[in-house]
């Protein structure tokens, strides 16, 4: 029984933003229409040169082709399983999937994050997975809520300062908390 709940806990969420879905579709299209044909052609040219056992271009090309095919299979299965969430929840006063959330720590530093699916997290943009420890801690919170959060450098108390559901990204200063 314990093993079963562990498997369920490690399962990825299937939600994705429209922007994240488009990015995965573009990657799939790029691999299928551009990258794979280019590598296939290079492998064919390398194979035509003769002894394949000592032909580094052939060996590398075949390896790259397996990597591309593996990624294509993964993307096709994953895209089929995803649910695009393209509208705000009924209650915009709580943190749910897709929310931009500004939090303040004990020292008054503010950071803004967007709660997204695991296929689209991007720390540089402030996009955190809803399955991450911070993402899970934020879900369901309201403005003014304080909560404890364990991070690599120790536990912190954070407060939810603002919640919004538009698609516009905050500028870098707002995301980093710098003014």
CB 169 within 8 A of CB 125: yes
Chain-centroid distance of CA 159 in Å reads 24
36-40 own/partner pairs: CB under 8 Å, 24+ apart: 36/65, 36/68, 36/69, 36/72, 39/64, 39/65, 39/68, 40/65
Give the closest residue to 138 by CA, choosing from 100, 168, 167. Answer: 100
Give the closest residue to 165 by CA, choosing from 102, 84, 92, 111. Answer: 92
pLDDT-derived band of residue 151, with 50, 70 and 90 as boundaries? confident
| CA-to-CA dists, residue 50 to 39, 56, 119, angstroms | 18, 12, 42
Give the closest residue to 16 by CA, choosing from 102, 74, 98, 89. Answer: 98
Q: pLDDT, tens digit, for every residue of 71-127?
A: 999 999 999 999 999 888 888 999 999 999 999 999 999 999 999 999 999 999 999
pLDDT-derived band of residue 176, with 50, 70 and 90 as boundaries? low
Q: What is the DSSP letter of 124?
A: G
Rg of the chain in Å (alpha carbons): 22
CATH of span 100-176? 3.10.50.30
Rounded CA separation 128/118 (Å): 8
CB 136 within 8 A of CB 150: no
Start and end residues for every CATH 1.10.287.180 domain found in the chain:
13-84
Start and end residues for every CATH 3.10.50.30 domain found in the chain:
100-176
Find residue 176's DSSP bridge partners.
none
Buried (b) or exposed (e) across 108-126, using 16+ Cβ within 10 A? eebbbbbbbbbbbbeeeeb
Q: pLDDT, tens digit, for every residue of 5-56?
A: 333 444 678 999 999 999 999 999 999 999 999 999 999 999 898 778 888 8
The two beta strands, 146-151 and 154-164, are antiparallel
CATH of span 13-84? 1.10.287.180
pTM of the predicted model, to two decimals? Answer: 0.77
């Amino acid at each position: 029984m314990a093993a079963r709940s562990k498997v369920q806990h490690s399962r990825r969420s299937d939600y994705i933003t429209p922007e994240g879905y488009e990015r995965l579709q573009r990657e799939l299209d790029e691999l299928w229409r551009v990258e794979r044909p280019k590598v296939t052609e290079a492998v064919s040219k390398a194979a035509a040169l003769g002894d394949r056992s000592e032909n580094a271009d052939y060996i590398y090309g075949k390896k790259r082709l397996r990597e591309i095919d593996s990624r294509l299979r993964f993307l096709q299965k994953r895209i089929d399983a995803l649910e695009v969430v393209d509208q705000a929840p009924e209650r915009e006063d709580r943190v749910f999937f897709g929310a931009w959330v500004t939090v303040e720590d004990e020292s008054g530093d503010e950071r803004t994050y967007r709660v997204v699916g695991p296929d689209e997290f991007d720390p540089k943009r402030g996009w955190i997975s809803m399955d991450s420890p911070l993402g899970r801690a934020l879900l369901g919170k309201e403005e003014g809520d304080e909560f404890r959060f364990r991070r690599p450098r120790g536990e912190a108390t954070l407060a939810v300062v603002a919640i919004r559901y538009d698609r516009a990204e905050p500028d870098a200063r707002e995301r980093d908390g710098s003014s």
